[in-house]
Amino acid sequence: MPNAAKTLMLTFRAEADAVARARHALREFAADAGASADQIDAVRLASSEAVTNAVLHAYRDEPGKVYVSAALVSDELWILIADDGCGLEPRTGRPGLGLGLGLISQVSDQLTIVARSGGGTEVRMRFDLGDPDPSGYRSGPATRSRRFGSRTRTLRRRGSPA
């Protein structure tokens, strides 16, 4: 059973080595929180994708900062990846296939993306660490939500009731 409230707060320069450093710190945090091996893999993948997005797309001229926060509350692991960059906007000529947010959506229990009031983007991911139902059914909302400014987009997990 996970411990009561725990938190992690880190700041990195938005450079390539931030991805591995953030991934390692979040992997350790998830393991200490009682995450299963599969959940730890999901945290590693999702955090790698979110930090990579900030490193590659948030800043145009010089690297800024990437903020990594994690909190364990009851049986939920919340991870927030934020930057002070240009926000979500179409950018031609940038590397990547555009699959990162879809991957995060598939491996997390909730995904919300918000524009920060001071500029930049915040990716909020939730992972349920409680014991799964033995039948394989996961109780609770089977949705993913994405929020862009005043719009929120919700994605349903495959196989969830509409």
Q: How many other CB atoms are there within 10 angstroms of residue 101's CB atom?
A: 18
What pTM did the predictor assign? 0.75
Assign a CATH topology to domain 6-156. Heat Shock Protein 90 (3.30.565)
Scan for tokens 């999702």, then name that residue: 46
92-146 tens-digit pLDDT? 555 554 567 778 988 999 999 999 988 899 999 999 998 665 444 444 444 444 4
pLDDT in tens, 46-101: 999 999 999 988 998 888 999 999 999 989 999 999 999 987 665 555 555 456 77
How far is 40 from 42, CA to CA, in rounded Å?
5
Q: Which residues of 137-162 are buried (b: 16+ CB within 10 A; e: fewer)?
A: eeeeebebebbeeeeeeeeeeeeeee
Q: Where are the domains of the chain?
A: 6-156
